């Protein structure tokens, strides 16, 4: 990931920011390509500070960077024109209807008021709030408020959409919708998305690339698929009924078997394939209901990375 | 939607339920919170799920004695829970709301809660220390609550719920806003508590977290009980919904052609980019029974097999949306 | 394409420049406030003095041209000194000054009411629902935010002070049909506009600062009322106490022999003095003279009396009086009175406090600075840890 022709969404070089005795960002250098990127990290790792630095709201003590090629120290307002941000905490403009909320959000970026109103209608339909657009925003449920924040963030068609915990407080159906929208924007509509969340399955569903911060520093960066390496020759296995007999059978053939709950973690001897397990199941009349190569989950990747610090 | 309520609780007469709702209803003016709910929660860890507005908070509040049922009875540990202070000593609640006394230190806060529960001052301090240690907050207990991160606040709330050494613990969205590290810690704590013999009821929106904690769930929708029991048994009973089973093979088409010759397969969809196929069947048992022979048959290999809807998301989706 | 894309579509329009961001905030704020029916009624009511001002200037214009239309109105102007009506051109500037002075006095009252209706929610509601991250994640600086909010207040204040001023000026010019009027009275126009601007800036930033201190707009409204009324009450109380002290000192601490003696400060009685001429030089006349001397001394003391400055609105009025030159106007009108004492009495009754204007200017500047500090402190930029 180097060289001048590789497109770069944003880049930070040696950024340091301290508040009194707390170092929020510690010599952070990072380069992120366009597309959907997940931003992960324990609480207090500097994610919020990094997002604010990208938005130009924070002046770093040392170091600098660029967003879309524009210097974050000098062209903050221009950068913010092309970014849409959905903050984590509850935010509203007081006393307006949903449609006015989104139109105002657009006008604040500089859209002409007729364009803003027209875009607001489009974007509210897209976010699934079409039915409630004429209600006062204070009467919205928390799921609707999250969608409203998303709508307000995309009304001016930004190049980068930063979502900070967008599924907070939403029920499973709402979460599915929100992730579907984020996926659609990132994959089909050419918008880059920076998805900051603690819910790792959400990040996996939307992003292909993750960045892990801890203690103000970059821990891990890379594609999700590459990071979740498959362990060669290791499988997760589940049978119809929990039975120790099968485990004994295959460990007798040289497999290394561990029991975890109702799953068996099987490491087959080198040179063999899964066909070995099928043969045993056929002979002993067992039903294999789940057989997958063992892959570390994103959670394991994350915890391992964080524990190393 | 199944025509009958899906209930797979093995009703053994010797094991008494920790929480029992007998035809309980609760309405607020015209708005109904819980609608003729009959429910028995067994000891162990149970997940409480449901979309927004399903009545989960109402259920939790009724089970902890904060709300009086408009109709019916609510019993915890065999006694009626409304207006029953001695019973409340055996119940712990970790609420969803984040309203702690910000100026107090963690230890002061838990000690205050202990004193409110009736412990004397020295006992309260000791209990506070014990529970804070159980949740792993000993290092931070002397700092004011206002400086705590979200994970620390959740742990503090859990500590105050444990101060009475309750037999039943109710956790309302215990892991919102916590980072994966804190989440892992909280899950470990809950599992330890269950291992010590306490019963825990966890209400959450985040399905995969509940799935990681326990396979026993209660699903509410619109104030009524939708399903209760072990996830897989619920899934098995939902026979109107075909199962989707994914097979990864090196020769999908040939395998698909072979599978089609059997009557229990309703449909097959090929996904070339993953070299996999998704089989739709209403008789999963028969299908799985045939697989080992099929795998050994030779023209193809079956590298992976798994069910797409063997998880809570799918169960939830089917039950709630039908 | 027969089937159109239904989902998200891109937008390729032009965004306006960075210096106009505050206008979006002002427009939005004004639109929301105008939905309040009560506010619209108050605005309407606030235009009545404007009509009276227009009427007054038009009549004076007609009077100058000795038009017949004005004959009926002369009846209503009996309260004025007939010398003034006899020579309208000589007194034109004074009458204009005084008309504008009274107009702005009333409009100051309406301004305070309007600020009470419009102002409290401006920043406090944003704080309550946490709108600031939404604002600052867009291309706006804190300055734009404050200017936008100040713009909302200034719009309404301008509607009642600046707009009627301009319109009345035009009418006055039209009715007098004399461009020389414009030359003479231009200073009044500029002064009034400046006065309106100062009200906007001072009261506006003060209200924004109060609004930024609380999340509940009712407390802010109460605080504003307190600032307005309580400060006036305290000011009157202090002035009253001061007056009593002086009176006490003057009348009760003098040895009896001095009562009746001539005032050592030597204000001589004048020949035409109706009060004492022709009366025997007995104790009664001396007492009256003594009383009059006391009044004169008190009136001169008032030139350095700081107590009126305790009331916030009094400071604005003092600045206004200076900008419009109403004190000079009264002095010119007072020259029509026969003696010093009556002149001073007229001035006290109508001209208002006479301490130096720059004291009030300092107070207002101080409050302005304080408001800016409060705003800067309470709307912290997002350059912080939490």
Tell me the DSSP string of B210-247: HHHH-SEEEEEETTEEEEEEEHHHHHHH-TTSPEEEEE
Q: Roughly what angle, to the nearest 10 degrees, separates helices C162-176 and C142-160?
A: 40
* CB contact C7 to A (< 8 Å): yes
- Lowest mean per-residue pLDDT among A142-156, A229-243, B211-225, B239-253: A229-243
Output the average pLDDT for chain B. Answer: 86
CA distance A7 to chain C (A): 21
Residue C266 is predicted with a pLDDT of 44
Mean pLDDT for the stretch of residues A229-242 = 81
Q: Per-residue confidence at C239, pLDDT binned at 50, 70, 90?
A: confident
Return residues 3-22 of B near A (CB < 8 Å).
none
**Interface contact B168, partner A, CB < 8 A:** no
How confident is the model at residue C178, as a pLDDT?
74
Categorize the per-residue pLDDT at C280 as very low, low, confident or very high, splitting at 50, 70 and 90.
Answer: very low
Closest Cα to residue B72, out of B218, B63, B7? Answer: B63
CA separation for the pair C82, C302 (Å, rounded): 30
- Does the reported pTM lie above 0.90? no
To 5 degrees, how large is the angle CA B273–CA B279–CA B283?
165
Closest residue in A to C23 (Cα) is: A108
Question: B76-84: which pairs have CB atoms within 8 A and are 24 or more residues apart?
Answer: B76/B18, B76/B19, B76/B20, B76/B168, B77/B18, B77/B167, B77/B168, B78/B16
The 3-class SS string of C127-155 reads: HHCCCHHHHHCCCCCHHHHHHHHHHHHHH
| Residue C260: per-residue pLDDT | 47
Contact B137, B160 (CB under 8 A): no
Q: Which residues of A touch C128 (CB under 8 A)?
A: 94
**Cβ neighbours of residue C341 under 8 Å, at least 6 residues apart?**
C292, C295, C296
ipTM beyond cut 0.90: no
Determine contact: A92 vs chain B, CB below 8 A: no
User: Looking at the complex, does the CB of residue B101 fall below 8 Å from at least one CB of chain A?
Assistant: no
Specify the pLDDT at position B10: 46
Reduced to 3 states (helix: H, G, I; strand: E, B; else coil), residue C233 is helix
% of chain C residues with pLDDT over 70:
87
- Cβ contact A198–B307 (<8 Å): no
Confirm if A175 and B316 have CB atoms less than 8 A apart. no
Average confidence (pLDDT) over B42-57: 89
Distance between CA atoms of C4 and B46, rounded to whole angstroms? Answer: 48
pLDDT at C279 over 80: no
- Whether residue A57 lies within 8 A of chain C, CB to CB, comes out as yes
* Residue C253 confidence (pLDDT): 62
Q: What is the mean pLDDT of chain A?
A: 89
Q: Among A204-208, A256-260, C369-373, whose mean pLDDT is lowest? A: A256-260
Neighbours of B (≥3 Cβ pairs closer than 8 A)?
A
What's the mean pLDDT in A75-95?
92
Residue A43 or A39, more confident: A39
Return residues 229-288 of B near A (CB < 8 Å): 285, 288
Between C76 and C163, residue with greater pLDDT: C163
Closest by Cβ to A57, choosing from C17, C25, C381: C381
Instruction: For residue A169, name the pLDDT band (cuts at 50, 70, 90).
Output: confident
Across A136-154, average pLDDT:
93
Per-residue CA distances from C207 to C106, C107, C200, C293 (Å): 20, 17, 10, 44
Burial of C71 (0-12, 13-18, 19+ CB in 10 A): exposed
pLDDT over 90 percentage in chain C: 37
Quote the pLDDT of residue C15: 85
* Interchain CB distance below 8 Å, A291 and B305: yes
Helix or strand run (H / E) with residue A307? helix A298-307
* DSSP bridge partners of B34: B26
For residue B3, is pLDDT > 60? Answer: no
Q: Is B28 exposed, middle or buried (CB count within 10 Å of its CB: 0-12, 13-18, 19+)? A: exposed
* Model pLDDT, residue C218: 94
pLDDT at B50: 87
pLDDT tens-digit series, residues B180-216: 888 888 899 999 999 999 999 999 888 888 888 898 9
Structure confidence at residue C67 (pLDDT): 72
- Has residue B269 got a pLDDT over 90? yes
Per DSSP, C20 falls in state G
The answer to whether the Cβ–Cβ distance between A108 and C131 falls below 8 Å is no
Percent pLDDT > 70 in chain A is 98
Give the closest of B149, B304, B307 to A43, CB-based: B149
Note the pLDDT of residue C367: 93
Mutate to test the interface with B, among A289, A290, A296 (most CBs of B within 10 A): A289
User: Would you list the DSSP string of C148-189?
Assistant: HHHHHHHHHHHHHTHHHHHHHHHHHHHHHT-HHHHHHHHHHH
A199: closest CA of chain C, how far (Å): 21
On the question of pLDDT at C54 being above 50, the answer is yes
Q: Is the pLDDT of residue C10 over 80?
A: yes
- The answer on pLDDT for C275 being more than 50 is no
Question: Would you say residue A251 has pLDDT above 50?
Answer: yes
Q: Are A181 and A127 in contact (CB under 8 A)?
A: yes
- Give the whole-angstrom CA distance, residue C235 versus residue C314: 9
C-beta atoms surrounding C2 within 10 Å: 3
Which of B52, B288, B303 is the closest to A143 by Cβ?
Answer: B52
Instruction: Indicate if the pLDDT at residue C147 is higher than 90.
Output: yes
Does residue C262 have a pLDDT over 50? Answer: no
Q: What is the pLDDT of residue C282?
A: 54
Tell me whether strands A192-196 and A36-40 are parallel, antiparallel or unpaired: parallel
Q: What is the DSSP letter of C65?
A: T
C11 chain-A contacts, CB cut-off 8 A: 115, 119, 156-157
Which residues in chain C have their CB less than 8 angstroms from residue A150's CB?
A: none
B8, pLDDT greater than 70: no
Hey, what's the torsion of the CAs at C249, C255, C258, C263, to 10 degrees? -30
Comparing alpha-carbon positions, the chain A residue that sits nearest to C17 is A110
The pLDDT of residue B239 is 67
Predicted pLDDT of residue C152 = 96
């Amino acid at each position: 990931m180097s060289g001048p022709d590789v497109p770069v969404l944003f880049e930070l070089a040696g950024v340091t920011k301290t508040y009194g005795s707390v170092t929020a960002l510690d010599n952070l250098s990072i380069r992120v390509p366009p597309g959907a990127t997940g931003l992960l990290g324990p609480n207090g790792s500097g994610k919020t500070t990094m997002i604010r630095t990208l938005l130009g709201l924070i002046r770093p003590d040392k170091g600098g960077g660029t967003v879309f090629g524009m210097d974050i120290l000098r062209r903050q307002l221009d950068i913010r024109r092309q970014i849409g941000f959905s903050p984590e905490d509850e935010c509203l403009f007081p006393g307006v209807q949903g449609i006015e909320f989104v139109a105002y959000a657009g006008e604040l970026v500089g859209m002409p008021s007729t364009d803003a109103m027209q875009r607001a209608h489009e974007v509210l339909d897209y976010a699934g709030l079409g039915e409630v657009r004429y209600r006062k925003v204070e009467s919205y449920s928390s799921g609707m408020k999250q969608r409203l924040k998303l709508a307000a963030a995309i009304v001016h068609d930004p190049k980068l959409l930063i979502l900070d915990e967008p599924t907070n407080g939403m029920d499973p159906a709402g979460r599915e919708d929100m992730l579907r929208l984020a996926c659609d924007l990132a994959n089909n509509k050419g918008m880059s998305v920076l998805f900051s969340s603690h819910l790792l399955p959400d990040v996996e569903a939307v992003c292909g690339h993750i960045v892990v911060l801890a203690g103000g520093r970059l821990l891990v960066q890379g594609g999700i698929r590459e990071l979740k390496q498959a362990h060669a020759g290791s499988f997760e296995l589940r049978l119809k009924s929990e039975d120790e007999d099968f485990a004994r059978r295959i460990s007798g053939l040289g497999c290394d078997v561990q029991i975890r709950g109702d799953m068996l973690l099987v490491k087959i001897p080198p040179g063999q394939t899964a066909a070995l397990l099928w043969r045993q199941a056929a002979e002993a009349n067992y039903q294999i209901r789940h057989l997958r190569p063992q892959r570390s989950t994103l959670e394991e990747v994350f915890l391992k990375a964080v524990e190393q610090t | 939607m199944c025509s009958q309520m899906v209930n797979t609780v093995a009703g053994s007469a010797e094991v008494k339920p920790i929480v029992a709702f007998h035809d309980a209803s609760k309405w607020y003016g015209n708005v109904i919170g819980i609608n003729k709910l009959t429910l028995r929660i067994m000891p162990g860890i149970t997940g409480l799920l449901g979309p927004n507005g399903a009545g989960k908070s109402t259920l939790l509040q009724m089970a902890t004695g904060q709300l009086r049922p408009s109709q019916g009875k609510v019993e915890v540990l065999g006694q009626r829970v409304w207006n029953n202070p001695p019973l409340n000593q055996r119940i712990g609640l970790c609420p969803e709301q984040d309203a702690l006394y910000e100026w107090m230190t963690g230890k002061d806060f838990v000690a205050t809660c202990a004193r409110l529960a009736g412990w004397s001052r020295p006992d309260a301090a000791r209990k506070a220390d014990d529970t804070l240690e159980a949740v792993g907050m000993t290092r931070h207990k002397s700092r004011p609550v206002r400086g705590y991160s979200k994970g620390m606040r959740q742990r503090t709330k859990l500590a105050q719920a444990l101060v009475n050494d309750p037999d039943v613990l109710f956790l309302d969205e215990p892991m919102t806003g916590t980072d994966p590290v804190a989440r892992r810690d909280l899950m470990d704590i809950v599992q330890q508590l269950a291992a010590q013999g306490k019963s825990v009821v966890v209400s959450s929106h985040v399905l995969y977290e509940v799935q990681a904690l326990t396979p026993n769930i209660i699903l509410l929708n619109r104030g009524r009980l939708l399903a209760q029991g072990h996830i897989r048994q619920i899934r098995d009973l939902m026979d109107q919904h075909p199962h989707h089973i994914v097979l990864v093979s090196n020769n999908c088409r040939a395998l698909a052609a072979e599978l089609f010759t059997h009557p229990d397969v309703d449909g097959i969809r090929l996904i070339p980019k993953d070299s996999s196929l998704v089989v739709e069947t209403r008789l999963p048992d028969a299908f799985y029974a045939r697989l080992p022979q099929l795998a050994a048959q030779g023209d193809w290999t079956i590298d992976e097999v798994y069910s797409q809807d063997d998880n809570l998301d799918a169960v939830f989706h089917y039950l709630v949306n039908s | 394409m027969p089937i159109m894309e239904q989902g998200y579509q891109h937008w390729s329009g032009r965004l306006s420049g960075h210096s106009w961001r505050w206008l979006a905030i002002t427009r939005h704020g004004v639109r929301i406030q105008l939905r309040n029916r009560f506010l619209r009624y108050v605005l309407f009511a606030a235009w009545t003095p404007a009509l009276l001002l227009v009427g007054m200037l038009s009549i004076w214009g007609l009077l100058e041209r000795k038009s017949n239309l004005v004959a009926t109105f002369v009846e209503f102007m009996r309260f004025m000194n007939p010398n003034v009506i006899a020579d309208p051109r000589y007194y034109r500037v004074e009458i204009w000054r005084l008309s504008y002075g009274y107009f702005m006095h009333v409009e100051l009252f309406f301004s305070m009411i309007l600020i009470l209706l419009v102002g409290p929610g401006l920043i406090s509601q944003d704080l309550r629902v946490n709108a600031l991250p939404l604002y600052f994640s867009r291309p706006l600086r804190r300055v734009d935010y404050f200017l936008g909010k100040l713009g909302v207040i200034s719009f309404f204040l301008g509607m009642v002070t600046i707009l009627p001023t301009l319109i009345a000026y035009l009418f006055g010019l039209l009715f007098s049909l004399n461009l020389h009027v414009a030359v003479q009275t231009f200073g009044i126009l500029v002064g009034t506009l400046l006065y309106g601007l100062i009200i906007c800036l001072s009261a506006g930033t003060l209200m924004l600062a109060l609004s930024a201190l609380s999340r509940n707009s009712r407390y802010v409204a109460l605080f504003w009322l307190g600032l307005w009324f309580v400060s006036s009450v305290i000011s009157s109380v202090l002035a009253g106490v001061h007056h009593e002290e002086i009176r006490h000192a003057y009348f009760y601490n003098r040895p009896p022999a001095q009562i009746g003696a001539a005032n050592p400060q030597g204000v001589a009685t004048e020949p035409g003095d109706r009060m004492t001429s022709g009366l025997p030089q007995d104790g009664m006349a001396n007492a009256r003279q003594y009383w009059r001397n006391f009044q004169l001394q008190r009136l001169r003391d008032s030139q350095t009396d700081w107590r009126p400055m305790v009331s916030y609105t009094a400071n604005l009025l003092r600045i206004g009086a200076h900008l419009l030159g109403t004190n000079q106007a009264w002095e010119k009108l007072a020259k029509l009175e026969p003696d010093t004492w009556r002149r001073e009495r007229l001035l006290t009754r109508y001209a208002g406090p006479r301490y130096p204007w720059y004291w009030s200017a300092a107070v207002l500047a101080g409050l302005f600075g304080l408001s800016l500090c409060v705003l800067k402190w309470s709307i912290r930029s997002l350059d912080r840890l939490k």
